[in-house]
Structure 1
Amino acid sequence: MISPEYCQMMAQYNAWQNSQMKSVLEKLTEADLRADRGAFFGSIMATANHLLWGDLLWMARFDGGEAPTAQLADSGQTTPTMAVWGAERFRTDGRIKQWASALTQDQMSGDLSWMSASLGREVSRPISQCIVHFFNHQTHHRGQIHTMVTSLGMTTGDTDLVFMPED
């Protein structure tokens, strides 16, 4: 279904997009960051925090490392400030790229099982499907943030995967 190269490309895309997004979010006022804009998580800051929380949760499932302690209901408060969010975002993007760079095709086969707090039961899915969901979840919530930022007259820069800078 997918390959390690796909994961490496998407990890790089994720980091690129988050860097662009961070540059724009740092220009917003606290009021702009925290105003309820009708998105699922309400504000820009809460959506950015949920995105970070989701990445940390999935990475813990993928790499066995540290997971967030907050539950879904509190995921919008993962970090208290844009400065803390930016540092955690950078660290997490590095963790994602490191995981993707070491991933093998064999590690992408079989199922991944975890206890879903939101469903209240054990869940098992093909790991490749979980990885695709992981990257799709990032794009989905960055799209929400992009819309909210655009409504403020700002731009996050190019979001097209085919125009991602090559390192």
Structure 2
Amino acid sequence: MTSAVDQLRLMARNNAYANSRLYEACNRLSQLEFLAARTNFFPSIKDTLNHLWEVDRYYLDALREQGEGLSVFDVPFLQTASELWRAQKKVDHQLIGFCDDLGETDLDREICHDRGKAGQIRETVGNTLLHLFQHQIHHRGQVHAMLAGTHAAPPQLDEFFLKFERHPAAEDLL
């Protein structure tokens, strides 16, 4: 059995793989399709992907203890799928690097999350990473469903962990 840190390293790579596959589809959309109002938690593919990007930056800031806190949300939304994909790739790469640098004892280390009026809330690195990955999966699923109403087919996102069905794009991350 692999360690918890090894599992989180794999999750970071799976996260980057799934984002890559999702953005392949989103980059085939016209700008009108990308911006179109859709039924979901966020009103468009653009808004959902921006939310993922900004929340990833928020949690990565906390994990790396950089102190930007809620100010990461002050960056304006990006307007195109290609702009967002370049920005998301950068964050995905940083997240992989963070996980690769983790030691087993780091998972229980507490870090501060800037929660505005609620103050600085302490959480463990391990739980923060688990939440970040779950958050990504949750909202990627929403984008996946929204893609079904476009000409770009929703991609398979779960062909990463099992050798017998692993997508060739996943091999580059392992």
Residue 29 (structure 1) aligned with residue 27 (structure 2): no
Q: Secondary structure at the match of 1:113?
A: strand
Kindly report which structure 2 residues correspond to 1:84-163, keeping only aligned pairs within 5 A, or say none.
84-117=83-116, 120-160=118-158, 161-162=160-161, 163=165
Paired letter, 2:111: L
- Structure 1: distance between partners of 2:40 and 2:55: 16
Per-residue deviation at 1:70? 4.8
Query: For residue 64 of structure 1, what is the aligned residue in structure 2?
Result: 65
Contact 1:149 1:155 in 2 (8 A): yes
Per-residue deviation at 1:120? 3.4
Per-residue deviation at 1:130? 1.5
Provide the TM-score with structure 1 as the length reference.
0.85
Contact 2:57 2:91 in 1 (8 A): yes
- Structure 1: distance between partners of 2:145 and 2:66: 32
- Structure 1: distance between partners of 2:83 and 2:152: 22
Residues 66-111 of structure 1 deviation map (CA, whole Å, 9 limit, x = unaligned): 857353xx78x53132222111111111101111111111111133
- Structure 2: distance between partners of 1:66 and 1:113: 9
Q: Secondary structure at the match of 1:36?
A: coil
Per-residue deviation at 1:114? 2.1
CA RMSD of the aligned region, Å? 2.2
Paired letter, 1:69: S
Q: Secondary structure at the match of 2:148?
A: helix
Alignment gaps of 5+ in structure 1:
none
Query: For residue 9 of structure 2, what is the aligned residue in structure 1?
Result: 8
Count of matched residue pairs:
162
- Structure 1: distance between partners of 2:112 and 2:33: 39
Structure 2 CA distance for partners of 1:80 and 1:151, relative to 1, 3 Å: closer
- Structure 2: distance between partners of 1:103 and 1:141: 26
Contact 1:41 1:47 in 2 (8 A): yes
Kindly report which structure 2 residues correspond to 1:41-56, keeping only aligned pairs within 5 A, or say none.
41-56=42-57
Paired letter, 1:98: G
Residues 11-31 of structure 1 deviation map (CA, whole Å, 9 limit, x = unaligned): 110110111111111111111
Identity %: 22
